[in-house]
Amino acid sequence: MLALGVATPSALAYSGAFQHTQSVGNRGADVAAVQHLLRQHGQATAVDGVFSADTATAVKAFQQTKSLPVDGIVGPKTWAALAVQVREGDTGEAVSALQAQLNAKRKLSLKVTGTFDAATKQAVTSFQSHAGIGADGVAGPITWENLVWHFDYPDFAAGLCDKDPDGNGTANWGTASTIAQLEAAARGFASTNQGKIPLGDVSFEHGGAINGHSSHRVGMDVDIWPIRTDSKQCSAGRITWESSTYDRAATRQLVKAIKAAAPGHVKVVWFNDPVLIREGLTQPLVNHSNHLHVRYCAKTHPSSLYTC
């Protein structure tokens, strides 16, 4: 949390929509879409939602075929070359990418079959109406751009619990990579048997100003609460690093799990525990004694605040 803002989600139509850059270390639905689309273009890669060195190799091979800069990073030009217009009756990996995206971004349960059936068309049309773009049921460049841009919502069964300290309701939406990297950290921390990770605000579904924060507008800032010695951080009261029930060792494990789940994609973790600061795990920031503020980043982003 930083300064106060207005709790109003941004308008639809996503005038600032862009396809989030994906590179080695990223996870999530957008990475899975990249992998499906690479396969559509004849590049062999697993579809596991993890941007590995093998995925980067496939991206480089694809970029070479399209005379793009061969850097293994999926930025705007590579996204545009990967995206394939699909409509009812089409089949293939591009349709699978579309179905997986719709499931993640609209909380649907389409079967990822690679066949553009009536249910898929209905889901596309519904998303287009939701986004304020032409609702024709055809997934063309504008639909792909807005769909990839759209935020994702966490699976709380992954080891998270929902906290709402600023009255923003379900302001838990983030970029697909932010959410998947957070979920992976939660699963990793869950293996320590020290309770779930309490999740505060991330962003509204479509970004924009949010009460209690000057950041948290682009789906890449995440507030989580420190761990307690009784592991009841999801059910008991909120604490600071100075509280008698604060568990520094467990919170240290949590920070390490966050960074391990997103190698090269955690820009900073703000939290005022002086020991963790000395260890180089967190950085100090005013009003950050009772929660950790994780800022994720991408290789390129419209704001330099979020560039790795």
What pLDDT digit, counting tens, does each position of 9-36 carry?
Answer: 333 467 778 999 999 999 999 999 999 9
d(CA 205, CA 296): 17
Task: Say yes or no to pLDDT of 176 above 90.
Answer: yes
d(CA 63, CA 44): 14
Structural domains of the chain sorted by starting position, each given as residue range(s) with its CATH number in brackets: 29-149 (1.10.101.10), 156-306 (3.30.1380.10)
- Supply the pLDDT for residue 17: 85
Secondary structure (H, E, C), the chain: CCCCCCCCCCCCCCCCCCCCCECCCCECHHHHHHHHHHHHCCCCCCCCCECCHHHHHHHHHHHHHCCCCCCCCECHHHHHHHCCCECCCCECHHHHHHHHHHHHHHCCCCCCCCECCHHHHHHHHHHHHHHCCCCCCCECHHHHHHHHHCCECCCHHHCEEECCCCCCCCCCCECHHHHHHHHHHHHHHHCCCCCCEEECCCCCCCCCCECCECCCCCCCEEEECCCECCCCCCCCCCCCCCCCCECHHHHHHHHHHHHHCCCCCEEEEECCCHHHHHCCCCECCCCCCCCEEEEECECCCCCHHHEC
Q: Judge residue 286's burial from the number of C-beta atoms within 10 Å of its C-beta, 0-12 exposed, 13-18 middle, 19 or more buried.
A: exposed
Task: Give residue 165's pLDDT band: very low, low, confident or very high (50, 70, 90).
Answer: confident
For residue 120 the two structure tokens come to 């898929």
Query: Where is average pLDDT lowest: 1-10, 26-35, 156-165?
Result: 1-10
Taking residues 218-226, what's their average pLDDT?
A: 97
Q: Per-residue pLDDT tens for 48-65?
A: 999 999 999 999 999 999
Taking residues 71-77, what's their average pLDDT?
A: 97
Taking residues 95-123, what's their average pLDDT?
A: 97
- Supply the pLDDT for residue 101: 97
Report the predicted TM-score, pTM, of the whole model to 2 decimal places: 0.93
Task: Say yes or no to pLDDT of 182 above 70.
Answer: yes
Q: Per-residue pLDDT tens for 186-208?
A: 999 999 999 999 999 999 999 99
